Structure 1
Amino acid sequence: MRAGIDTRESDTSKSRRRRLARRLIAVQEEQCRRLSRELHDDLGQMLASVALELHGIRAGSPEQGERLTRAAMLVDQLSARVHAAAWNLRPADLDHLGLRACVEDLAAMLCAQLDIPCDMDLEALSRPLAPEIALTLYRVAQEALTNIGKHAQPRRASVTAHICDRRLRLTIEDDGRGFDADATLGSRALGLAGMRERLALIGGELSIETARGRGTTLYADVPLFADMPLTD
């Protein structure tokens, strides 16, 4: 009898922690959305105005002209970084264009950056998904593709999605260096832990197949309908 009571208390405690964690993620995402909008709308517009002013100034000497050109280039570079930071915080297209378009953009940008081919089959992401599922899969794809860009040194990559038995699987694969999952430390380990936690909160799972020199395949499996909404 006592053991049964302890188990129920443990389950209740776990349920409360899960609800608290989900609310925390929701708050964090709202903060990211607001900061992204401020970066794009306020700082982005100010930088664009400064760039226009610099381009419109007529230099009095060749030396001044060179300095103005360099200043304009720096402003343009800063503007691009602000835009990228705003996108990473919260892509506006996720709300308007949907998950498929955003994941395709992430993969295309990575492969263009690395100058490698990328196979994509993301038709399954075109279907309507619960907002928390779409957001979680986007964050997983973002983290996984960022890791490929930082660590993998691949010759090719692929991003696919399929539906089976009322679950959706997102697969991200590369033929790069691979890694020892058990011995991974630092930011990559934190990133993997974060992906697992996010997926667990919507009833999903993360699995990874990798070995040094043999590439990496990441699987993110989620239910098509979240079993626990973000509200109480």
Structure 2
Amino acid sequence: MSLDERMRAAALLERERIARELHDSLAQVLGVAHLRLHALAARPSVRADEPAHREVLDLAELCHEAYADVREAILALRESTNPDRTLLEHLRAYVATFSRTSGVPTSLVVHTGAEPCLAPCAEIQVVRIIQEALTNVRKHSGASGATVTVRALPHQVECTVADDGVGFEPADALSGDGFGLTSMRERAEAAGGGLHVDSAPGRGTRVTVRVPGRGVAASAHPAEATA
């Protein structure tokens, strides 16, 4: 086994260890805290005190949101620990699970006649960008649906995450970076590509990453569309 292969294997093992520890500790604590806070809020003495009741419910909602974030982090780590999966296999599995657990129906549409060919490091960055973009869909967009599209371009592979949510001003988001756009852009650049964000209030969001790679252009109809 080469040095690169050993380093990759060690990284995958470490990700699996972190995912397991997050599940066994933080995720379980947040889940229990959410349930106990709701039980506390249901007590007559707490319900009689409106400010206290509202505060307990707000804390319960914070625990629920943090629990969802941790669950997505665990999923992202575990989806990246299988070295035998191709890019499309990673995306099929992640999109299916995200659609089921987030409450946002999400589809994968593939416009390429063959598995995209990316460098291993670029493939990891692309998957993480898509995962981060979908996290934003769940947390910020209020969308009723989202689509992940993979397309073959000359000498490039393009992946887009689009939603029909509330949208935002990209310049404002970058200044506060509550959407992780800086991190996504750095990941795209690390893969030798670039990131483009198209959004405005009231018209949804499209996050597009293009990285060097090879794919076979499909016909005018999608090669694949899965919910």
TM-score w.r.t. structure 1 length?
0.59
Equivalent position to 1:158, from 136, 144, 147: 147
SS at match of 1:178: coil
Distance 1:151 1:30 in 2: 35
How big is each residue's C-alpha offset from its partner over 1:178-227, in whole Å with a ceiling of 9 and x where there is no partner?
011111154534x11111112112220100110011100111001117xx
Match of residue 21 from structure 1: none
- Within a 5 Å distance, the mapping from 1:132-147 to structure 2 comes to 132-147=121-136
Match of residue 36 from structure 1: 15
Asked which structure has the greater CA Rg, the reply is: 1
Higher helix share: 1
Distance 1:146 1:103 in 2: 14
Unaligned runs of 5+ in 2: 1-6, 26-67, 215-227
Match of residue 211 from structure 2: 222
- The AA in structure 2 aligned to 1:139 is R
SS at match of 1:188: coil
Match of residue 179 from structure 1: 168
1:156–1:204: structure 2 CA closer, same or farther, 3 Å change rule? same
> How many residues were matched structurally?
164
Q: CA deviation at 1:164?
A: 1.2
Match of residue 96 from structure 2: 108
- The AA in structure 1 aligned to 2:147 is S
Distance 1:177 1:165 in 2: 33
Distance 1:81 1:114 in 2: 10
- Within a 5 Å distance, the mapping from 1:32-181 to structure 2 comes to 33-39=12-18, 85-92=73-80, 94-122=82-110, 124=112, 126-181=115-170
Distance 1:177 1:209 in 2: 13
Superposition CA RMSD, Å = 3.3
Match of residue 178 from structure 2: 188
Match of residue 67 from structure 1: none
Q: CA deviation at 1:104?
A: 2.0
Q: Do 1:106 and 1:145's aligned partners in 2 also have CA atoms closer than 8 Å?
A: no
Q: CA deviation at 1:114?
A: 3.9
Distance 1:152 1:84 in 2: 16
Distance 1:217 1:138 in 2: 16
How big is each residue's C-alpha offset from its partner over 1:58-103, in whole Å with a ceiling of 9 and x where there is no partner?
xxxxxxxxxxxxxxxxxxxxxx998865443353554122221222
Unaligned runs of 5+ in 1: 1-26, 47-79, 226-232
Higher relative contact order (CA 8 A, sep 6+): 2
Distance 1:83 1:212 in 2: 28
- The AA in structure 1 aligned to 2:108 is M
Q: CA deviation at 1:120?
A: 1.6
SS at match of 1:212: coil
Q: CA deviation at 1:162?
A: 0.7
Q: Do 1:117 and 1:155's aligned partners in 2 also have CA atoms closer than 8 Å?
A: yes
- The AA in structure 1 aligned to 2:14 is L
Identity level (%): 29
